[in-house]
Amino acid sequence: MLRLYFGESNLPTPEFIKRAAQKAMADGFTFYTENAGMPSTRKALARYYSEIHGVELDAGEEIVVTASGVQALHLAIRCVLDPGDEALVLTPAWPNGSANVRMANATPVEMAQPLIGDRYGIDFEALEAAVTPRTRMLLYTSPSNPLGWVATEEEQRRLLEFARRHRLWLMADEVYERLNYLSAKPATSILKLASREDAVIVIQSFSKAYCMTGWRLGWMVARRDLAARAARLNEFVVSHAPTFTQRAAETALLWGEDGIAKMLAGLRENRDLCLAALQKIPGVTVPRPDGAFYLFPRIDGLGDSFAFCKRLLMETKVGLAPGVAFGAGGEGSVRICFASEKRIVEEAMARLSLFLRAG
């Protein structure tokens, strides 16, 4: 079976990070630590932001290390929403954002990102119309899973202005920031545009950039009052992320740049070969992803992406994720994860192409 439905790279965690975890265990990093994460890990993250983004953070007050990106998302949403509140969520998106909003007994209001020409955008008029007295936050993901959309600075500025004007928390899921095909730099973080007094939260993870999905390690950057609240809440959830993995993550941050650059070169090749294959198929519209490792082609006349993916799997043994799983605006498309070996991606595209041409 050719599995392109996953949300992770097929690359294993780099050896130097695994060795750092073994050493951390041997060195005794096996005890409880602070709810917000080890001070040394938070300092390493602050240094990362300074070097990679040119953003200065207070390691003691604005960063919370979490046991995965999804745990950061959970903590942030729990801290912001009360039962009955509403959250605007830009979709199609990884469904865990809306699911976490529901778990807080609040309502996700999914706002489909329109395809304008060959690029996804944001419908700001629709956002204005969707705000109610119960709206508390807006969640967006850039680079996007599943769209591959990377917010421009102008779009981020407008989102920030919108959030400020309506007194909303702006939550940016930036877990794919290093997978940016537009430049050698990471995608622009909202932290670069926001002041430290803005109601902004960034959700982050070691999973995608460092091939550490199974480690369950992430972090959050937030205004200090929210970060303090999240750290307190963490006590009752997992207390803190594992200590020796935090130690290993410090090494990943220090020495991970070459690995990221190498991975990105391979991903770009895969993206381009998938794009070339899909663009040749009649009835398929496929915007070029500028980030992350997904393509989200729209297939003319597709009304049930789940049934389509099931039939594709049964008949060709190619596994894709149905667009309907990603919320409003997702139906009619499928998600292809191209973070796999080149020969697997190539073979999957050949089979998909035959399947679609056969109708």
Ligand X SMILES: Cc1ncc(COP(=O)(O)O)c(C=O)c1O
Q: Please give the residue ranges that form the binding site for ligand X (CB under 6 A).
A: 7, 68-70, 94, 141, 145, 173, 175, 205, 207, 213, 218
Dist. CA 158–CA 140, nearest whole Å = 13
Tell me the residue nearest to ligand X as measured from the CB.
69
* CB closer to ligand X, 20 vs 72: 72
Long-range contacts of 118-122 (CB under 8 A, 24+ apart): 118/287, 118/288, 119/149, 119/287, 120/144, 120/147, 120/149, 120/287, 121/155, 122/90, 122/151, 122/155, 122/158, 122/159
* CB closer to ligand X, 162 vs 210: 210
The tokens of 51 are what?
Answer: 């070097």
* CB closer to ligand X, 218 vs 322: 218
Dist. CA 209–CA 217, nearest whole Å = 12
Q: How far is the CB of 158 from ligand X (least distance, A)?
A: 21
Q: How far is the CB of 141 from ligand X (least distance, A)?
A: 5
* CB closer to ligand X, 100 vs 107: 100
CB 172 within 8 A of CB 138: no
Residue type, 66: T
Which of 279, 275, 254 shows the shortest CA–CA distance to 345?
Answer: 275
Q: How far is the CB of 26 from ligand X (least distance, A)?
A: 26
Q: How far is the CB of 95 from ligand X (least distance, A)?
A: 10
Element (H, E) at 26: helix 15-26
* CB closer to ligand X, 20 vs 292: 292
For residues 145, 195, 251, 261, the Cα torsion angle rounded to the nearest 10 degrees is 50
* CB closer to ligand X, 62 vs 174: 174
Q: How far is the CB of 337 from ligand X (least distance, A)?
A: 10
The tokens of 281 are what?
Answer: 């198929």
* CB closer to ligand X, 284 vs 336: 336
Q: How far is the CB of 65 from ligand X (least distance, A)?
A: 12
Q: Peptide bond preceding 133: is omega within 30 degrees of 0, i.e. cis?
A: no
* Cβ atoms < 10 Å from Cβ of 24: 21
Say how many Å lie between the first and final Cα of the chain, rounded: 21
Q: How far is the CB of 215 from ligand X (least distance, A)?
A: 9
Q: What are the angstrom distances between the C-alpha of 328 and each of 9, 47, 120, 235?
A: 26, 38, 14, 34
Q: How far is the CB of 107 from ligand X (least distance, A)?
A: 20
* CB closer to ligand X, 291 vs 297: 291
